[in-house]
Amino acid sequence: MTRTTEASRLLALPRGGRIAWTQIASGVVLLALCAWIIHAFAVGQIEWRYVGQFLFVPSILRGVGATLLMAICAMALGMVVGIVLALGRLSTAWLPRIVSGLYVWLFRGVPVILQLLIWFNLALIFPHVTLPGVGSYRTVDLMTPFLSALFGLGLNQAAYIAEIFRAGFQSVDRGQYEAASAIGMTRLMAMRRIIFPQAFRTVIPPLGNEFINMIKLTSLASLIQYPEVLHNAETIYYANTRVIELLIVAGFWYLTAVTVLSPLQHLLERRFARGKSS
């Protein structure tokens, strides 16, 4: 028991912290593990000078460009189709609801790699494509690796983005639709001015996540001859057999792209956080 006279004396004592033994211990273990892995890679059969040598060769840099281009285009296609699907899913009419539901079910249910292969081999199903008023084309000429990858990745992405936006739209209070209606807004204007800006701020973090995923997902397009960074790295190592070195080069560029993008997402989040309680 502490008497109050005793407690008064304690009042003058300086305060110390608790020593975090578990943190110190786990820190030591983690450091040792890191050192071991770095050592393993340093003495392993990796010729690091090849990594440096190939990091900036034109073919790799062109691959990086193609990767980013595909990620941006596929994401853009996914956003447009995804938002339309989300609106369809939330429609009061049954037809758009069913169509959107079926789309999401189909494209989420089939592996992306399979979708890429189907688009690339579309000519096997439809040898010719006729665009009314434009002309008739051989599907093999039309479905270049770029277009196949764009459709495969973008339309698959749309299914996920549709779900993200559906949640975003549903997170906006019903009273916001009513207030917008009450000042005479049409549905479209209410959507554009009131609902969308509020939905958008809740969907930025998951969208950023999807975009990062998309950058890595573009590597699958190497399988259908789209010349992105992994495809070009492979082309080089088929010739010089420096497999691991070139995979590290490709890995470096994916990591760089993702690292640069994360702060951009933060900026976007800040921009759309207007009016969030401060």
Partner 1 sequence: MTEPAIWIRNLHKSFGANPVLRGVSLDIPPGQVVCVLGGSGSGKTTMLRCIAQLETAEDGLIVMSGELLGLRERNGRLVPRSAHDIARQRRLAGMVFQRFNLFPHMTALENVMEGPVRVQKRPAAEVRSEALELLRSVGLEHRADHYPAQLSGGQQQRVAIARALALKPAVMLFDEPTSALDPESVGDVLAVMKSVAASGVTMLVVTHELSFAREVADRILFMDGGVILEDAPTADFFGTPREDRTRAFLAAVLGQKSTA
Binding site for partner 1 (CB under 8 A): 173, 175-176, 178-187, 189, 193-194, 197-198, 201, 274-278
**C-alpha–C-alpha distance, residues 107 and 234, integer Å:** 29
Q: Which is nearer to partner 1, 116 or 204 (CB)?
A: 204
**C-alpha–C-alpha distance, residues 250 and 216, integer Å:** 11
**Do 148 and 223 meet the contact criterion of CB atoms below 8 Å apart?**
no
The distance of closest approach from Cβ of residue 174 to partner 1 in the complex, given in angstroms and rounded to an integer, is: 9
According to DSSP, residue 276 is labeled S
Q: Which is nearer to partner 1, 132 or 275 (CB)?
A: 275
The distance of closest approach from Cβ of residue 234 to partner 1 in the complex, given in angstroms and rounded to an integer, is: 47
The distance of closest approach from Cβ of residue 265 to partner 1 in the complex, given in angstroms and rounded to an integer, is: 19
Give residue 104's identity as a one-letter amino acid code. V
Q: Which is nearer to partner 1, 185 or 258 (CB)?
A: 185
The distance of closest approach from Cβ of residue 198 to partner 1 in the complex, given in angstroms and rounded to an integer, is: 6
User: Number of helices (H) and strands (E), helices first, in the chain?
Assistant: 13, 2
The distance of closest approach from Cβ of residue 163 to partner 1 in the complex, given in angstroms and rounded to an integer, is: 23
Q: Which is nearer to partner 1, 241 or 277 (CB)?
A: 277
Q: Which is nearer to partner 1, 200 or 252 (CB)?
A: 200
**C-alpha–C-alpha distance, residues 79 and 245, integer Å:** 36
Q: Which is nearer to partner 1, 155 or 180 (CB)?
A: 180
The distance of closest approach from Cβ of residue 276 to partner 1 in the complex, given in angstroms and rounded to an integer, is: 7
